[in-house]
Structure 1
Amino acid sequence: MKKYGKTILFPGVVLLILLFLFFQQESPSDEEVFSIETIPQQPNEQVNSETVSELAEEPAVKKIMVDVKGAVLYPGVYELTTDHRIVDAIKAAGGYTEEAQNMSINHAQKLQDEMAIYVPKKGEEAVPIQNNGQVVTGAATASESGSEQVDLNHAEESALTTIPGIGPSKAQAIIAYREENGQFKTIEELKNVSGIGDKTFEKLKEHITVK
């Protein structure tokens, strides 16, 4: 045994080493044992309620058609959006001609679908254009042009408030009545407007007209 002991021991040690390496290769690595799989989020779950609320409150921009008339280089119908203003419509029409009277035009006013914008020439007394209850014009109103009478069917709120006894609230009531019932046929019809009685009418009848 002493003679062959070393010869038997050496192969046994080698065999143990090979078995150890074999089992090491078969066992899973730490990374494989402890790997974690993540579950992808759905796109809808990533949008929080605050973002949804902001999107809901943001007004939609719509395409509209406006008609630009009068003293502009290229009168016609133009496609713009509800984000545009009168100044943009004037630019789309090529800008003003040398004869244009544009001092009384509100260039900052936002556009609406089917709106008509009239630019008068210098010295012209143009009749304002009715846009479903909204007047858009560059012409002077009756009170601004020096006339004693204001046209109930076409005057804006600023012109109506120049009538004796008519303040902002009554001016708005006149416009509202005009929108609901159509144009005034006679000046006496003004008494149908809320807040305007016989006494008020007597004070202002000399300052109003219908056209």
Structure 2
Amino acid sequence: MVLEWWERYRRIILLTAAVLFVGCSYWIYQRDQSHKTDELPLHPPAYAASNLETKELADDSAAAQPSKTVKATPEKDKGKEKEKDKEPLPPPLYVDVKGQVKNPGLYQFEPGTRVANAIEKAGGALPDADLVQINLATPLTDGAALVIPAKGTTAPVSASIGLVQSAASVSTTGASSAINLNTATVAELMSLPGIGEARAKAIVEYRSKQGRFRSADDLKQIQGIGEKMFARIKDRLVVQ
């Protein structure tokens, strides 16, 4: 009878046994894993604790280290910079450029400007301008007049060094700078354009040998004084 029962229900019995075996095995496995998890240490391993302490010490030292301060500009330096900013700029120069230039007139210049720059700003010199009588390197001065003479004329004494300081000096220059050929000394004669020491002595020697000059044209009798030289100085010569 048992054999008959076994033959009839053995498949069911084997299948049920297999399911029970698998279920029990899974339950036992889960229980063992849960038990192992509960037994894990509450503190991290030694190497992990060591790394954690090292990191904490590094963070503490970084927090304790004072931050680098930016070097501030000293108050004295700031004061000097402010003083420099407050220093007034030099006033401009106003010069009356006239004579043999293309565009005569009143011009404004920066301090330190030279006569050559003034002539250039006035359009440049005309073809008949005599720049030999002008000192192109002379610095400009405020309120002055720059007169560029023409060839064959004589520039005022003050203009020969670059600038005429005022209109009054221009008007009186002709009379005060006139040279009397019969009384002029070597030094006075050397003030004439193009007359050096040798020519001045030649004039005095001619006067001592030939007598008083009757006219300024007598200068042409002296060697080295031709028509061009005479034309440059004749306006400043008198015979008395």
TM-score interval (norm. to shorter): 0.3 to 0.5
TM-score w.r.t. structure 1 length?
0.47
TM-score relative to the length of structure 2: 0.42
Higher share in helix: 2
Larger radius of gyration: 2
Of Structure 1 and Structure 2, the greater strand share is in 1
